[in-house]
Chains A and B, each alone.
Chain A
Amino acid sequence: MRNLKKWIGWTVLLIALVLYPRIFGIYYTNVFVTFAIFALFAVTLNLLLGYTGLLTFGHAMFFGTGGYATAIALERIEGLPIIAAVLIGFLAAIVLALILCPIMVRVSGTAFAMLHLAFGQLMYVLALKLRFITGGEDGVGGFDIPPLGFPGIGSVDISDPLNFYYFAVTVLGLSIWFLWFFTKTPLGSVMVGIRDNANRVNYLGFKVTQTKAVIYTLAGAFAGVAGSVYALFQNLIAADDAYHVWVSFAPIMMTMVGGISSFFGPIAGAAIFGIIEELTSRYTERVELVMGLILISIIMFAPLGFVGFVNFLKQKLIRRSAQ
């Protein structure tokens, strides 16, 4: 029975995703792609923040590196398949994570956050200054987006917004699903153990530092995928979209707004951010002002975020029906 319910749920979700662009049109399709990109980005951040207890102020590093790697690869390499371009973004983020992790996994708490801020700013300034690679302030843009080829079947033109939607949602959805699967593995449980009591995990014989390094690399790699899809979606990647401090803060805020304690919290947070931005930008240009006020009220009145709020309501309902 429970299994059946689960399958029905997944099928409905899948059908909704397939039909979404047909119902809502191109504009909202693009809004949804933006949401999906930031949902994955926020989920990777929550892997560090919510699951492992590591706060980072420089997660944009991986997002930006993935984006730049994909964009530069498509610009420089003739006839590169689209999947390979995304993989290059993924690999570039992994390489960055592997370079950083010997330094990063030794520290925790505020030092971890601030070291990321330092390296993040370093990347930001480098992206601005190394003009011959990154194009300086203009960024890398206007590269050709190759069609998605299926060997022996044919190819699909990705530059069409509708086809791009299906491509992006597949890539991002699979990534989110993979991360969700990862949190259910034994290694995922060790990760939560490290957050709650690193010493105890250590005494139990698990390797804390190495586990942290694996999670760190994984979170960075999939943030790279989000950045890579972002670069393809905008057909442009520039330092301000890729490495700016606010790009690092956005997923933290989404995670907080959505709910830090749950895997799906960051996704809810990304959706709430998207909706607020969409609604307020119709009435006022001061989107950030509204965002700031909402952020303050959420922390004041619903500190566990959206998911926490829903759970609170659920418990209240259960208590009432029990009476």
Chain B
Amino acid sequence: MDPTTAMYIAQGMHGLAYGMLLFLVASGLTLIFGMMGILNLAHASFFMLSAYIAYSVLHLTGNFWLALLLAPIATAIIGVLVERFLLRKVHAFGHIGELILTVGVALVILEGVKAGWGTENLPLSPPESLQGLINIAGLEYPVYRLFVIGIALLLLIILTIILYKTRLGMVVRAAVSDADMVNSLGVNVPLVFMFVFGIGTWMAGIAGVAIAPILTVFPGLADQMGMDAFIVVVVGGFGSLGGAFLVSIICGLLNSYGIQFISSLAPVLMFIFMAIVLTIKPMGLFGERE
């Protein structure tokens, strides 16, 4: 394979890996929005928190797999507690109240992380078996990124099966389209929502651990990922998983090829994309309501 093609493919794979991680974060966000109608501005903070917990677990035990298992679960527990004891209480006061509450949670997590772990970049190295390069048809590619794509695909498949093949998934989808109606049919919607919130933060947590060896762990992680995830949710259409998936991949590719060709304007590309889509379709590509 000649070097130029190899470079294009490698950049494409980088974009794909980032897009997949973005989808893990954005899918939770879009489901939470679909069910409750709120933008959870603390969602990316959970993502970052998980990376920090993983760093500590790895530091204590030296086992990456244990960190990958424990950190997202710990994050999900914190997420469920926030939902149960904070978000649910302010639900009656309207969306802007909930929004500001999540801003408060995001601030507390950000400052808590800075107080607990400091502000410098913390390195997190993947296990030996995932280090190094692999040769696929003449293309040298880092094993770890392949692993990231794999784990995101696995989660995507599990999520799709749960949502479209189980009774629980049916209830969740129904609640996304009309929570009040499902509630009055005798389903405990607040409980379902707590479950979805937990799953959402859990997936964001896995993305946090998975991205840590690539970007290192630092307090700005939440801002970077959070902004991208919002764009994905907004452009894809609120509550639309398929839209979130498509736009995640587009954004990942836009990011990696943008850095390749017009590096100075790469950060704006996604915002321009979002502005164009929203100007034409205010509800996003696959959105049915505001």
A→B interface (CB under 8 Å): 49, 55, 103, 106-111, 114-115, 117-119, 121-122, 125-126, 129, 245, 249, 252-253, 256, 260, 286, 288-289, 291-296, 299-300, 303
Contact = CB atoms under 8 A, between A and B. Distances in A.
19 contacts: A107-B278, A110-B39, A115-B275, A115-B279, A117-B230, A118-B271, A245-B227, A253-B100, A256-B97, A256-B100, A288-B110, A289-B108, A291-B104, A293-B104, A294-B104, A296-B101, A296-B108, A300-B86, A303-B93
A109 to B, nearest CB: 4
Nearest to A110: B290
Interface string B88-114: 011001001101110111111011101
A156 to B, nearest CB: 41
A106 B281 CA distance: 11
B227 A121 contact: yes
Contacts of B111: 286, 288-289, 292
Contacts of B107: 288-289, 291-292, 295
B268 A125 contact: yes
Interface residues of B, number: 40
Q: Is the interface of A mostly helix, strand, loop or mixed?
A: helix
Given A253-B100, A286-B115, A114 B278 contact: yes
Contact of B104 (A106, A111, A286, A295): A295
Contacts of B101: 295-296, 299-300
B12 interface: no
A165 to B, nearest CB: 31
B264 interface: yes
Contacts of A292: 103-108, 110-111
Contact of A293 (B103, B108, B227, B278): B108
B37 to A, nearest CB: 9
Contact of A256 (B96, B110, B227): B96
User: Which of A109, A249, A253, A299 has the most CB atoms of chain B within a 10 A radius of its CB?
Assistant: A299
B290 A122 contact: no
A311 to B, nearest CB: 16
A303 B89 CA distance: 11
Given A288-B111, A293-B104, A296-B105, A125 B267 contact: yes
Given A110-B290, A122-B268, A295 B100 contact: yes
B60 interface: no
A32 to B, nearest CB: 25
B96 A111 contact: no
Interface in B203-230: 223, 227, 230
Contacts of B169: none
Contact of A125 (B39, B223, B271): B271
B272 interface: yes
B274 interface: yes
A49 B99 CA distance: 13
A53 to B, nearest CB: 10
A106 B282 contact: yes
